[in-house]
């Protein structure tokens, strides 16, 4: 039994470390403003809309490099924002299957709580779906989690036990109850945004490499 739990623990730690290469810090001049993920190796960063607040923040990679970011898209209702940085060959995330999440599954949230570099917290899935209480303004599809998302986890990845991204951390909904946006919602947001970017680009002009 001890060997099993040790293997399970080691597996979670390795998955967290590997996925953490795609974690970035998003700063608006306030240390620990929030987190984000490298969605595409060409410099596309995904975070929460409430982290960037329609600004063009600074993105700090795990290797310490800092880049000014350009705001590509913003959806207040979904609480998602897309940024572009001038970088290439970045370690992009591996999306998982958020629709197959089951209550009781172990998940890991990564972020920068209070500016602490690349922190992790673990818990379990409570439930997911579109009938969960939302922030002011209505209801939408969210994952409810039994874990604590301290300030600074917002915009960071929610991982399954294999280290695949199944959601984007959002906020706390109560004592020890966190919320995350399912990754399939993020995928739809990115697909729609990239379509708009291509259509808006002048004829013959290349769109960002992240597209």
What is the pLDDT at residue 1?
Answer: 57
Residues with Cβ < 8 Å from 61, sequence gap 6 or more? Answer: 24, 38, 67, 87, 90
Q: How far apart are CA 51 and CA 79, in angstroms?
A: 9
- Pick the catalytic residue from 16, 79, 98, 128: 79
- Pick the catalytic residue from 16, 128, 144, 154: 154
Would residue 22 show up in a list of annotated catalytic residues for this protein? no
Would residue 50 show up in a list of annotated catalytic residues for this protein? yes
Would residue 77 show up in a list of annotated catalytic residues for this protein? no
What is the pLDDT at residue 209?
Answer: 40
Q: How far apart are CA 206 and CA 115, in angstroms?
A: 36
pLDDT 10s digits, 154-209: 999 999 989 999 999 998 777 778 999 999 999 999 999 988 878 877 754 444 44
pLDDT 10s digits, 11-61: 778 888 888 999 999 987 655 579 999 999 999 999 999 999 777 789 999
Is residue 211's pLDDT more than 60?
no
What is the pLDDT at residue 114?
Answer: 77
- Pick the catalytic residue from 50, 55, 161, 209: 50
Complete domains list, the chain, with CATH: 2-92 (2.40.10.10), 98-186 (2.40.10.10)
pLDDT: is 116 or 182 the higher one? 182
What is the pLDDT at residue 207?
Answer: 45
């Amino acid at each position: 039994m001890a060997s099993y739990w040790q293997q399970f623990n080691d597996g979670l730690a390795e998955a967290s470390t590997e996925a953490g290469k795609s974690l970035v810090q998003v700063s608006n001049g306030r240390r620990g403003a929030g987190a984000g993920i490298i969605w595409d190796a060409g410099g596309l960063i995904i975070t929460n809309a409430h982290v960037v607040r329609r600004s063009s923040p600074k993105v700090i990679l795990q290797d310490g490099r800092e880049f000014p970011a350009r705001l590509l898209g913003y959806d207040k209702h979904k609480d998602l924002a897309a940024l572009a940085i001038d970088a290439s060959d970045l370690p992009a995330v591996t999306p998982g299957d958020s629709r197959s999440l089951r209550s009781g599954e172990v998940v890991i949230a990564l972020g920068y709580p209070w500016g602490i570099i690349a922190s992790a917290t673990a818990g379990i899935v409570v439930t997911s779906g579109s009938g969960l209480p939302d922030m002011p303004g209505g209801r939408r599809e969210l994952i409810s989690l039994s874990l604590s998302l301290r300030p600074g986890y917002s915009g960071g990845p929610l991982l399954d036990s294999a280290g695949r991204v199944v959601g984007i951390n959002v906020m706390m909904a109560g004592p020890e109850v966190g919320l995350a946006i399912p990754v399939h919602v993020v995928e739809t947001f990115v697909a729609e945004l990239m379509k708009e970017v291509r259509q808006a680009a002048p004829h013959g002009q290349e769109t960002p490499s992240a597209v």
